[in-house]
Amino acid sequence: MDESSPTPAPDGRTAHERPGVYATPGAGFERDTRYLTTRITADGRDGWPVEAGRYRLVVSRACPWASRAIVVRRVLGLEDALSMGVCGPTHDERSWTFDLDRGGVDPVLGVERLRDAYLVRDPRYARGITVPAIVDVPTGAVVTNDFAQITLDLSTQWTTHHRPGAPDLYPEALRGEIDELGDEIYRDVNNGVYRCGFAGSQETYDRAFTRLFDALDRLEARLTRRRYLVGDTITEADVRLFTTLVRFDAVYHGHFKCNRHRLTEMPALWAYARDLFQTPGFGDTVDFVDIKRHYYEVHRDINPSGIVPRGPELRGWRTPHGREALGGRPFGDGTPPGPVRDGERVPAGHGAG
């Protein structure tokens, strides 16, 4: 997520157990956005040139911010150029861990904790240990954890390594509209659910709740008349909205008190989310078990018992959505990605059937 292990807030406020976020009692939620902003680019302007096999993308499928990178990497076909390490859904106060791997050690980086790669980059690193992060394999150092820039660079800087038929998720002619809408989605929806969940007072919760559902109402109206958010193909904007929508009923509706409506009660958004979920590269990356375990087990100040709810029913994600009637071409002049690679499939029983 910007999901990380807890760090002291910059001004001494109490840090939440959630990664990279903090709040003042009685006030509102804030997110620690002090990222490592060095970029991996085609020209290597920051000292990190695009190079197949050199870097490792570290993610957790629990995390909506990391899920963006998982989707974009798969849709663009970057599996051979950029390997992926997957952390488990929970973490302790120190770091995300590679507890899904044999012996609890990432087989490429040779470390148990993502924190180790941050400390190679900066031995005095005191910010959030966040995912997604891209690590330079030869040195073992984190290059960047700037989640918003990571996916844009995968689209624009890694083009030499895109699969044949990869779509353009960030077309130059639409970038202004994608950026403007993406900023609104981040501010009012992606981050908006957190403002509700971690509100420190009734007043701040009420304000956050209204802001979130006002934004969802605007998106509902927009998606009633068009299949995708910008243009007639899937773009970066759709990726950014999808990773929040797919978690909405499973965690945000109950756990974060975002409960004016379930996603399933918002007709256009629910059909839109199912359309994307059933598109190769989207739903086949979603791990509902990891998602629920992370939120309900880690956020003990919100859910002290750590009990993970059994619901909601997930079979609806596979039902017909009817969005084809609005036109649009999911991958434009490109093609869908092929089957999920061996070793990268969501475990059986963790998806939507």
What is the full DSSP assignment across 166-182?
A: ---SS-GGGHHHHHHHH
Predicted structure pTM score: 0.93
Q: What phi and psi values does residue 302 have, to the nearest 5 degrees?
A: -95, -35
pLDDT, one tens digit per residue, over 257-316 is 999 999 999 999 999 999 999 999 999 999 999 999 999 999 999 999 999 999 999 999
d(CA 322, CA 79): 31
| In the chain, domain spans | 172-280+314-323
> From start to end of the chain, where are the E strands?
21-23, 29-31, 55-60, 83-87, 133-136, 141-144
**1.20.1050.10, 1.10.150.120, 3.90.76.10, 1.20.930.40: CATH of 172-280+314-323:** 1.20.1050.10
The residues carrying an active-site annotation are 63, 194
SS3 105: coil
Q: What is the percentage of the chain residues whose pLDDT exceeds 90?
A: 88
Per-residue pLDDT of the chain (353 residues; tens, 9 = 90+): 444 433 333 333 223 333 444 444 445 666 777 899 999 999 999 999 999 999 999 999 999 999 999 999 999 999 999 999 999 999 877 789 999 999 999 999 999 999 999 999 999 998 889 999 999 999 999 999 999 999 999 999 999 999 999 999 999 999 999 999 999 999 999 999 999 999 999 999 999 999 999 999 999 999 999 999 999 999 999 999 999 999 999 999 999 999 999 999 999 999 999 999 999 999 999 999 999 999 999 999 999 999 999 999 999 999 999 999 999 999 999 999 999 999 999 999 999 97
Tokens representing residue 184 in the block: 């609104």
Please give the pLDDT value at position 28. 61
Relative orientation angle of helices 147-156 and 64-76, to the nearest 10 degrees: 10
